[in-house]
């Protein structure tokens, strides 16, 4: 068969061991969604037929499509169009311009929100906008802007938002929050506290079915534009069955551009075991198709074992430990992959105690279980992770949190967190990601810059050189490393004959641009399953192709 697609004029990095400079392949051929040849153009083009699309990429760097090992993508997609995206905003003026534009496009009284994924340190002024600035930009709309999850983070409300919520005069603080106040005791617009933040989310974000589907299309298209060809979705707070309806609708319509592997978690403190069991009662791992499917359970397994952002003292009680151990045993017996949120070394140790107990009865080595985040993991627990056959899902979260985390954990913990050099030496599998969109930016290239340089933007300590990755190793973690977590490392995250044709043609050469230019990289052509799902720049006239959803069997097993 003649290839469906041939790329020529490329600088192809196939994966670890491929030359970055001279000697790299220059052409790749794709048939039926798989790579069929990779090498010199004279060989690949000789097989072209009348139906083959041949694209000269003009000397651009081609890499395996990126896979984010831990991204709250489904949650972000649900409301993406109703939030402002400040991921790449660089000044207060630019930020306020986005508020003004939103105010001109929305009816008075409609909320305008910025809910995570950025930090004041990225702005030229290195500060939050004030209530008065938000009032001037949108006097007739309630506005709330918030940077990241974290103990020291505070959001800012304008006057209309305070009035809408009834937080005026000498009112009491809202549940789960603290209102900063002027000298006369009235709220000055600043708000701290996760509970109050979540309350505003519920009030401000109420997209209907059509809007949530459009938002999902827009967000996943944005990911494809950055060169992502897959994500492992981390579920998250509030992610009940109804929140998955938009992505399923987009998938059924043939409009989902990248591969999504779903982890399903608990929703309600005190009901975790029942909720996880409910997911497991009507779903199995791998239900779906090659584009959208269930992977496993997590990251929220049990709120009593969930140390949030690791900013306050946290202890796993004996009761929570026993409940988590029972849930983990159930997952192991049924063959479910599992990922568990854990940041503090004390939490990690207790969770590993439970997993070792499970492993003694039902070995977990072949289930691709993982810990996510794990910034504070120590040497002793790293050895336990290796011995259990677990993996780590690691993110560039500290790029905006190094200072506040150093104040809580100590500077040495941040300089070594996570200990990438030790992880690599021990041969522990790990996948790279972001933890976007609330707790961090979803931009994979910003995260890659942090893996490579270890330099934060908030004035905190830099990561020790031993725990920084070379560019090839970092990209391998963001491709093949993440694919390992979903049992797909042999066919995704690499460019080789027989592998999935998932790749990105980059706007700039990842291997040669300056460190500080890494976050500006995008994809000029993104290919998933052999289909062009994104095209931009002078390749923007290449037609984008939809997929044909082919759902797998839906079955229940009681093994």
- Give per-residue pLDDT as tens, 326-338: 999 999 999 999 9
> pLDDT over 70 for what percent of the chain?
97
Cα dihedral sign for 384, 386, 387, 389?
positive
**DSSP-derived 3-state class of residue 413:** helix
Query: Which helix (H) or strand (E) segment is 136 a member of?
Result: helix 131-137
Name which of 137-151, 279-293, 302-316, 505-519 the model is least confident about. 137-151
What would the mean pLDDT of 176-195 be, rounded to a whole number? 93
User: Where does residue 487 rank: exposed (0-12), middle (13-18), buried (19+ CB within 10 A)?
Assistant: middle
> Among 385-394, 427-436, 444-453, 455-464, where is mean pLDDT lowest?
455-464
Structure tokens, 386 = 């290796």
Structure confidence by residue, pLDDT tens digits, 60-88: 999 999 999 999 999 999 999 999 999 99
- Orientation angle between helical segments 209-225 and 245-252, nearest 10 degrees: 70
Strands 292-297 and 259-264 come out as parallel
Report the pLDDT averaged over residues 40-67.
Answer: 97
pLDDT-above-90 percentage for the chain: 92
pLDDT on residue 194 = 85
Tokens of 186: 């009235």
**Which tens digits make up the pLDDT trace of 1-25?**
899 999 999 999 999 999 998 899 9
Predicted local confidence at residue 312, as pLDDT:
87
How confident is the model over 364-387, as a mean pLDDT? 97
Residue 198: pLDDT above 50?
yes
Distances from the Cα of 9 to the Cαs of 38, 49, 147, 494, in angstroms? 12, 19, 41, 19
Residue 316: its pLDDT value, please? Answer: 98
Over residues 211-225, mean pLDDT: 98
HSE (side-chain half, CA atoms, 13 Å) at 234 = 29
Show the DSSP H helices in 285-434 as ranges.
318-333, 345-361, 379-388, 402-409, 411-415, 420-425
Question: Cα separations (Å) of 524 from 133, 316, 479?
Answer: 36, 47, 18
pLDDT, position 151? 53
pLDDT tens digit string along 466-517? 999 999 999 999 999 999 999 999 999 999 999 999 999 999 999 999 999 9
Summarize the chain as % helix, strand, coil (round to 5).
Answer: 35, 20, 45
The 10s digit of each residue's pLDDT in 299-323 is 999 999 999 999 889 999 999 999 9
- Predicted local confidence at residue 557, as pLDDT: 36
CB 374, CB 423: distance < 8 Å? no
Question: What homologous superfamily is domain 209-534 in, according to CATH?
Answer: Metal-dependent hydrolases (3.20.20.140)
Q: Taking residues 138-165, what's their average pLDDT?
A: 90
User: Do 209-534 and 84-204 have the same topology in CATH?
Assistant: no
Listed in sequence order, the DSSP H helices in 141-271 are: 159-165, 194-204, 209-225, 245-252
Question: Closest by alpha carbon to 155, among 146, 163, 164?
Answer: 146
Return d(Cα 540, Cα 406) in angstroms, integer.
44
Q: What is the pLDDT of residue 559?
A: 31
pLDDT in the model for residue 553: 44
Residue 30 has pLDDT above 50, yes or no: yes
Each domain of the chain, given as residue ranges in start order, spans 5-59, 84-204, 209-534
For the residues 518-524, what does the mean pLDDT come to? Answer: 98
- Asked if residue 332 lies in contact with residue 311, where contact means CB atoms within 8 angstroms, the answer is no
- For residue 358, the tally of other CB atoms under 10 A from its CB is 23
* pLDDT for residue 276 is more than 80: yes
The whole-number average pLDDT for the span 249-258 is: 96
**Residue 550 pLDDT greater than 70, yes or no:** no
By the 8 A CB rule, do 424 and 474 touch? no
Pick from 10, 35, 119, 69: which is nearest to 474 by CA?
Answer: 69
Q: Which CATH class is domain 84-204?
A: alpha beta
pLDDT at 268 over 80: yes
Total H helices, total E strands in the chain: 18, 22
State the pLDDT at residue 467. 97
pLDDT at 150: 62
Q: Element (H or E) spanning 259, and its range?
A: strand 259-264
**Burial readout 30-51 (b: 16 or more C-beta within 10 A, e: otherwise):** bbebbbbbbeebeebeeebeee
pLDDT at 126: 93
Residue 402 has phi, psi (to 5 degrees) of -60, -40
pLDDT at 509 (0 to 100): 98
> Quick one: pLDDT band at residue 152, thresholds 50, 70, 90?
low
Task: Please count the other Cβ atoms lying within 10 Å of the Cβ belonging to residue 19.
Answer: 12
Query: For the chain, what is the mean pLDDT?
Result: 95
Q: What is the pLDDT of residue 428?
A: 98
CA distances for 422 relative to 64, 414, 428, angstroms: 26, 15, 9
| Helix/strand/coil for 461 | coil
In the structure encoding, which two tokens stand for residue 534, read together? 């994104």
Mean per-residue pLDDT, 253-261? 97
For residues 255 and 554, is the Cβ–Cβ distance under 8 A?
no
Q: Tell me the pLDDT band of 188, cut-offs 50, 70 and 90.
A: very high
Q: Supply the pLDDT for residue 1.
A: 86
CB atoms within 10 A of CB 424: 15
């Amino acid at each position: 068969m003649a290839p469906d697609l041939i790329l020529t004029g490329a600088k192809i990095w196939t994966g670890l061991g491929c030359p970055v400079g001279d000697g790299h392949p220059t052409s790749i051929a794709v048939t039926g969604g798989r790579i069929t040849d990779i090498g010199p153009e004279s060989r690949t083009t000789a097989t072209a037929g009348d139906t083959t699309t041949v694209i000269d990429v003009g000397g651009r760097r081609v890499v395996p499509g990126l896979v984010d090992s831990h991204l709250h993508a489904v949650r972000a997609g649900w409301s993406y169009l109703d939030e402002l995206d400040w991921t790449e905003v660089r000044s207060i003026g630019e930020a306020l311009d986005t508020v003004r534009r939103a105010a001109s496009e929305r009816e008075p009284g409609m909320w305008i929100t910025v809910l995570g994924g950025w930090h004041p340190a990225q702005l030229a002024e290195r500060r939050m906008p004030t209530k008065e600035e938000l009032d001037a930009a949108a006097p007739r709309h309630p506005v709330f802007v918030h940077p990241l999850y974290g103990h020291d983070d505070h959001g800012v409300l304008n006057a209309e938002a305070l009035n809408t919520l009834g937080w005026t005069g000498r009112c009491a603080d809202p549940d789960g929050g603290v209102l900063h106040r002027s000298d006369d005791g009235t709220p000055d617009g600043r708000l701290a506290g996760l509970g109050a933040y979540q309350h505003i989310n519920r009030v401000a974000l109420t997209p209907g079915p059509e809007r949530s589907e459009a938002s999902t299309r827009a967000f996943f298209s944005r990911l494809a534009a950055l060169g992502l060809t897959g994500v492992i979705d981390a579920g998250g707070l509030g992610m009940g069955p109804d929140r998955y309806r938009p992505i399923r609708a987009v998938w059924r319509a043939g409009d989902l551009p990248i591969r999504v592997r779903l982890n399903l978690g608990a929703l309600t403190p005190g009901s975790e075991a029942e909720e996880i069991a409910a997911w497991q009662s009507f779903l199995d791992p791998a239900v779906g198709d090659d584009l959208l499917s269930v992977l496993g359970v997590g990251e929220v397994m049990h709120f009593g074992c969930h140390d949030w952002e690791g900013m306050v003292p946290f202890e796993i009680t004996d009761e929570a430990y026993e409940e988590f151990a029972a849930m983990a045993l159930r997952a192991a017996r049924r063959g479910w992959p599992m990922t568990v949120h854990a940041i503090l070394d004390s939490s990690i140790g207790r969770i590993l105690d439970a997993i070792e107990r499970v492993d003694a009865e039902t070995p977990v080595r072949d289930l691709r279980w993982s810990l996510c985040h794990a910034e504070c993991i120590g040497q002793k627990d790293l050895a336990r992770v290796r011995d259990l056959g677990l993996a780590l899902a690691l993110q560039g979260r500290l790029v905006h949190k190094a200072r506040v985390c150093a104040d809580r954990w100590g500077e040495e913990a941040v300089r070594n967190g996570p200990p990438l050099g030790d992880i690599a030496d021990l041969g522990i599998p790990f996948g790279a990601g972001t933890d976007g969109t609330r707790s961090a930016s979803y931009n994979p290239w910003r995260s890659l810059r942090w893996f490579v340089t270890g330099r934060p933007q908030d004035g905190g300590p830099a990561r020790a050189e031993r725990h920084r990755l070379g560019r090839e190793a970092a990209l391998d973690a963001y491709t093949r490393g993440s694919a390992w977590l979903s049992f797909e490392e042999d066919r995704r995250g690499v460019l080789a004959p027989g592998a999935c044709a998932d790749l990105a043609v980059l706007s700039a050469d990842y291997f040669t641009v300056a460190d500080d230019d890494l976050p500006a990289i995008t994809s000029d052509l993104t290919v998933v399953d052999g289909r062009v799902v994104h095209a931009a720049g002078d390749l923007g006239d290449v037609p984008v192709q939809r997929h044909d959803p082919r759902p797998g069997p839906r079955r229940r097993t009681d093994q």
